[in-house]
Structure 1
């Protein structure tokens, strides 16, 4: 059967060497001379369904509805389908490049030998899991640090030398503060309780080294960035005056739009609803630093070291980053699930309606004042946010904690439902 060549989208050859896995996408495949419009339309709909970028998915569901209403012919459908494929590819490459800017994450999976080289002068550390059949090796590649401890890239090995898995290992030192050992065990117990939930990191094991006064927590390694780092990169890209190619790392065509925010809110609320309702727990440290998102838009809450039970409202002390704290909880020194909802609302305001800023480490007055100032300026814009998004945020950020919606109620909010469902009717295909 004769074939006609489908017009290829603009060449992406300048990315071919860097991303050879996408070689098949650089040119459109030939299209048969005799084509079935229904099959072409079905393929387009399927491509929209599996698109991971929430903004693109919402955009092209509108295209699906337009194609359906105007009864596009096969060539028209192919044209818009190819446009989706190109935009999807461009954005995925952008996301990969942004994430790979992190030196601690770049090349780990493909360069285990270098990362875990025994000749490293500071000496990598080994510890065994309880069953003695699995051991863990700590690298010198730091992923993060904070008041709770440090997190480094690790390697999980078994008796089979060919079975190795990259992981993250949190080290909690309790040499000067013996009670911190309990904090480590508590965090491991919480991680064990949420194991298997898609919005939390998987726990592998927990081990104690009394000689070094350290607790180790080995967990899933997520090749991702926290939301603060995403914002910093996207803000820098959007303010760039670069005239380079759209796939250049200095250029970005996406930002924290409504679909992105809705996606983050929905998945974070799903995790919080599980914590609050199923387990009776409060996170107490929701911030832009403790929500991770990878290039495939998988969202996970991290750092469960401050999680406590709902039924223990006794004095718990100030926790987390002050700028994200519920003021009522801070004043009473008592945390309820509504405090996590307030913190999520502040996170969303920071992502969309605050200016570029850095993460100021520390707890001194200058740092607290800087963070608080950013939050106050973001919250000052709350009354100007219209529509369903504004109504949703105001439900998260009510001053009186008893008036705030809970996670389950917010998951049913029209803003979440409206941006999550597909605007696609049941009419027959063209």
Structure 2
């Protein structure tokens, strides 16, 4: 039996509450997303995502850096998803001010994010909407990748369909072609760029201009901003935000990159 304690936020289709189990011996809190089913038509993409997300979260429950689904309850009106409580905020809160991260701090976050993404990819799941809003932190500061509503299984065939968020979406998604799981690597690379620069690599006045900038994929490192950023960090950015998918690193390769393995502790300066 799950008892609601307080409302934490509202989305398009439901409300997120802090909750706890009345039957549990301890007083650990959880989050419960309560989704009003009648607001979603049975033949819509949103309905398919609603059906798929719990299955994917169950599959991914073995990774400490992925939001864990503890239980699912359903009644005539609502679907309730009980997950980890992440009361340490999200990455969007940390980057929205435009403040720049030190390389060691950025490396700690990226390593946890890529650990989550690599775990997904090993199990044949692409997240497809990697962005700061979906990168949460628990009370101990541990990263939890969340919101698998756009996730898709891959392996037998390539994926298609335009999903994602303007600043972070990979160019091959916008081109309307088939694509693979490396769209998540591109999005994570954009997050790394924002952490180090305080601004996104591709942007415009509105979504249409931003999409055009993403399609051009003209990656730049303005000297005024990147003067103090190491060559190793820039090398990793080039290999993540790479228009040629065949040359873009995989999630596993990123975890072995020198900038990650050194924890961002580099002595070289921007070239």
* TM-score normalised to structure 2 length: 0.81
Which of 262, 268, 271 aligns to 2:113? It is 268
Mapping of residues 88-127 of structure 1, within 5 Å: none
Displacement of 1:312 in angstroms is: 5.3
Mapping of residues 57-136 of structure 1, within 5 Å: 134-136=1-3
Identify the residue that residue 419 of structure 1 maps to in structure 2: 263
SS class of match (2:133): coil
Q: Specify whether residues 315 and 138 from structure 1 end up closer, same or farther in structure 2 by C-alpha distance, changes over 3 A only.
A: farther
Displacement of 1:329 in angstroms is: 2.4
- Note if 1:230 corresponds to 2:94: yes
CA RMSD of aligned residues (A): 3.3
CA-to-aligned-CA distance 1:347-387 (integer Å, 9 cap, x gap):
1112221349xxxxxxxx97525865997999432796651
8 A contact 1:350–1:378 mirrored in 2: no
Displacement of 1:418 in angstroms is: 1.7
The CA distance in 2 between the partners of 1:294 and 1:257, in whole Å, is: 21
- Note if 1:284 corresponds to 2:94: no
Q: Specify whether residues 207 and 417 from structure 1 end up closer, same or farther in structure 2 by C-alpha distance, changes over 3 A only.
A: same
Identify the residue that residue 269 of structure 2 maps to in structure 1: none
CA-to-aligned-CA distance 1:278-326 (integer Å, 9 cap, x gap):
x111010001111123564311111111111112546642112122011
Displacement of 1:178 in angstroms is: 1.5
Q: Which runs of 4+ in 1 moved over 6 A?
A: 373-378
- Note if 1:192 corresponds to 2:58: yes
Identify the residue that residue 32 of structure 2 maps to in structure 1: 169
The CA distance in 2 between the partners of 1:319 and 1:207, in whole Å, is: 28
Q: Specify whether residues 402 and 155 from structure 1 end up closer, same or farther in structure 2 by C-alpha distance, changes over 3 A only.
A: same
- Note if 1:352 corresponds to 2:196: yes
SS class of match (1:300): strand
8 A contact 1:153–1:221 mirrored in 2: no
8 A contact 1:138–1:155 mirrored in 2: yes
SS class of match (2:167): helix
8 A contact 1:170–1:218 mirrored in 2: yes
The CA distance in 2 between the partners of 1:232 and 1:371, in whole Å, is: 17
8 A contact 2:161–2:176 mirrored in 1: no
Identify the residue that residue 145 of structure 1 maps to in structure 2: 11
Identify the residue that residue 268 of structure 2 maps to in structure 1: none
Which of 162, 169, 172 aligns to 1:318? It is 162
8 A contact 1:226–1:290 mirrored in 2: yes
SS class of match (1:225): coil
Displacement of 1:401 in angstroms is: 0.8
Aligned length: 256
The CA distance in 2 between the partners of 1:315 and 1:327, in whole Å, is: 14
Identify the residue that residue 396 of structure 1 maps to in structure 2: 240
Q: Specify whether residues 229 and 144 from structure 1 end up closer, same or farther in structure 2 by C-alpha distance, changes over 3 A only.
A: farther
Which of 221, 224, 228 aligns to 1:381? It is 221
The CA distance in 1 between the partners of 2:209 and 2:92, in whole Å, is: 15
The CA distance in 1 between the partners of 2:94 and 2:192, in whole Å, is: 13
Q: Specify whether residues 326 and 234 from structure 1 end up closer, same or farther in structure 2 by C-alpha distance, changes over 3 A only.
A: closer
- Note if 1:208 corresponds to 2:79: no
Displacement of 1:174 in angstroms is: 3.4
SS class of match (2:150): coil
Displacement of 1:396 in angstroms is: 0.2
Any gaps of 5 or more consecutive residues in structure 1?
1-133, 236-254, 357-364, 422-430
Q: Specify whether residues 406 and 224 from structure 1 end up closer, same or farther in structure 2 by C-alpha distance, changes over 3 A only.
A: same
* TM-score normalised to structure 1 length: 0.53
The CA distance in 1 between the partners of 2:20 and 2:141, in whole Å, is: 26
SS class of match (1:337): coil
8 A contact 2:34–2:79 mirrored in 1: yes
Q: Specify whether residues 355 and 343 from structure 1 end up closer, same or farther in structure 2 by C-alpha distance, changes over 3 A only.
A: closer
Q: Which has the higher contact order (CA 8 A, sep 6+)?
A: 2
